[in-house]
Amino acid sequence: MHIRHLSLTNFRNYGRLELDLPLGPILLHGDNAQGKTNLLEAIYYLATTRSPHADQDAQLINWIAAQSEEPIVVCRLVADVAAAAEKRQIEMRLIQEVNLSGRNGGRTFRREALVNRRKVRLMDLLGKLQVVQFLPEDMQLVTGPPGNRRRYMDITLCQIDPIYCRQLSQYNKILEQRNALLRRLAEGRGKRDVLPIFTEKLIKLGSEIFRRRAMFLANLARETHRIHYEELTEGKETVRLGYLPRLQENGGRRADELIALEQLGEWLQSHVDDADAVQARFEQALAAALPTDMVRCTTSVGPHRDDWRFWINGRNLASYGSRGQQRSAILALKLAEIHWMTKISNETPVLLLDEVVAELDEHRRALLLTYIKELHQALLTATDPGMFTKDFLRQATTMAVENGRVIPDKI
Ligand SMILES: Nc1ncnc2c1ncn2[C@@H]1O[C@H](COP(=O)(O)OP(=O)(O)OP(=O)(O)O)[C@@H](O)[C@H]1O
Ligand SMILES: [Mg+2]
């Protein structure tokens, strides 16, 4: 699939942008702080309803507009998308209203999603534009906390699997309610007989999430291993991606706990088609954790505490891998993600690459560029287009980004 036209109003440093986007690779170049990353962020936001950079969505509204005296400020992102079977228009609106009686300095904030000009739930926007994004900070997937890896899994899966997305959102609500009840029970309030009702719902939804994640990671692991082994390290190194489902209480910090969780991951992989077995296992885990959970007033097992890790030549990549090895593993993961999305949805995703090309050596860069040629559209950013080969620049459309404006040019 590809984006034919992008229109932005009051988004970051884009007051107003109307931009036709061609097929093939598009190189956005320009000095620092001109709006290259912001443009990719807008596309990612339309695809996933999440920003990879802002902690609060309100930060995405152009700050001059946001601070104006206008009673209502709308930030609009619209993309005309061409997919294999149909064309569609998707839109996100971030709306800030001045509400004189309200708190927060009298400002309220809300979001709206539209498909073909009809309002839909935010969730229904997912999958309408599929993207794979690769940022320099994706290295954090190797070394950062488990929350980063869960977020990556959820955002990627939600683009392709609407059922997963719905179940995840329901699971998070039930989890919140269950934890609130555990707190009330600890304070001597609340009804104990409600707990099994929440627990039962949690088991049904949670076990589905476990199964879908296990399937996803198994697919991704296979392809990541192949790309890494065959195409990146010429048979010298093996990378393994292991699922660590939180189906038991212990944290997964010590080496033996990691091994135990990984064994559970393998067990899950072999039971992805057996919903009853996964439910029974999760039920057992919740029951075993209940005494401590009652004291801590939280639910310590379940997919909300999942993790996954890379292993390189049998060792933990985060602790033992060099920066170069970590970079290769992430590149293999991203290329595997493109492969997985294309296979599952019969659509090639739009690839978004912010600054990463500069960080890759020649071999890795060449591999990435061969993958880009297979896609309908890829947007790359660089401060220095000189790092691309003449051959690549001939095939790419180049555009200069200057202070919130985008000007097609020729390099
Ligand atoms: N809400 C906002 N309203 C207006 N401007 C903003 C907003 N948020 C960020 N900016 C500004 O947008 C500008 C462009 O940022 P962006 O990250 O896109 O630059 P870039 O071209 O990717 O630069 P670099 O090469 O340094 O990565 C920055 O000067 C930033 O301060
Ligand atoms: Mg940038």
SS (H, E, C) 110-126: EEEEEECCEEECHHHHC
Q: Which CATH architecture has domain 2-130+352-409?
A: 3-Layer(aba) Sandwich (3.40)
In this predicted structure, the answer to whether residue 289 has a pLDDT above a threshold of 90 is yes
State mean pLDDT over 265-279: 97
Q: CB of 10 closer than 6 A to ligand 1?
A: no
Radius of gyration of the chain (CA): 23
pLDDT of 99 reads: 78
**What per-residue confidence (pLDDT) applies to 325?**
92
Residues 131-175 pLDDT 10s: 999 999 999 999 999 999 999 999 999 999 999 999 999 999 999
More confident residue, 226 or 257: 226
Tokens of 16: 């107003």
Looking at the chain, the domain(s) classified CATH 3.40.50.300 span 2-130+352-409
pLDDT of residue 116: 98
Cβ of 38 less than 6 Å from ligand 1 = yes
The DSSP bridge partners found for residue 131 are 350
pLDDT tens string 377-398: 999 999 999 989 898 999 999 9
Is the CB of 37 within 6 Å of ligand 1? yes
Q: CATH assignment of 137-327, given 1.20.1050.90, 3.40.50.720, 1.10.1370.30, 3.40.50.2300?
A: 1.20.1050.90
Where, residue-wise, is CATH 1.20.1050.90 in the chain?
Answer: 137-327
Give the pLDDT mean for 177-191. Answer: 95
Could you say which ligand is closest to the alpha carbon of residue 38? 1
pLDDT of residue 106: 79
- Which pLDDT value is given to residue 200? 98
C-beta of 233 in contact with ligand 1 (< 6 A): no
CB 142 within 8 A of CB 326: yes
Q: What mean pLDDT is predicted for residues 11-23? A: 98
> What mean pLDDT is predicted for residues 173-198?
96
pLDDT band of 190, cuts 50, 70, 90: confident
Question: What does the pLDDT average to over 24-29?
Answer: 97
Q: How confident is the model at residue 298 (pLDDT cuts 50, 70, 90)?
A: very high
Query: Percent of the chain scored above 90 by pLDDT?
Result: 88
> From the CB of 34, is ligand 1 less than 6 Å away?
yes
Q: Whose CA is nearest to atom 17 of ligand 1?
A: 37
pLDDT bucket at 105, cuts 50 / 70 / 90: low
pLDDT at 31: 97
Closest-approaching ligand to the CA atom of 402 = 1
Ligand 1 pocket mutation pick from 8, 13, 96 by most atoms within 8 angstroms of CB = 13
Judged against a pLDDT cut of 80, whether residue 100 lies above it is answered with: no
Per-residue pLDDT at 139: 93
User: Can you say whether the dihedral through the CA atoms of 133, 22, 355, 332 is positive or negative?
Assistant: positive
Ligand 1 geometric centre to CA of 13 (Å): 6
Q: Is the pLDDT confidence value at 102 over 80?
A: no
> Half-sphere exposure of 332 toward its Cβ, with a 13 Å CA cutoff?
30
Nearest CA to ligand 1 atom 13: 33
Q: What is the rounded average pLDDT for all residues in the chain?
A: 95
Coil/strand/helix, residue 394: helix
CA of 141 to the centre of ligand 2 (A): 19
Please tell me if the CB atom of residue 404 comes closer than 6 angstroms to any atom of ligand 1: no
Residue 134, pLDDT score: 96
Measured from the Cβ of residue 90, the count of other Cβ atoms closer than 10 Å reads 22
For position 258, what pLDDT does the model report? 86
Two tokens at 239?
A: 């990378």
Mean pLDDT of 93-104: 81
Q: Which of 14-18, 112-116, 318-322 has the lowest mean pLDDT?
A: 318-322
d(CA 178, CA 297): 9
Answer with the residue of higher pLDDT: 250 or 367.
367
- Report the pLDDT value the prediction gives residue 154, as an integer from 0 to 100: 97
**Closest-lying ligand to the alpha carbon of 382?**
1
For residue 336, give both structure tokens. Answer: 């595997």
Question: Once rounded to an integer, what is the mean pLDDT over residues 89-97?
Answer: 97
**Cα 354 to ligand 1 centroid, rounded to whole Å:** 13
Q: What is the structure's pLDDT at 280?
A: 98
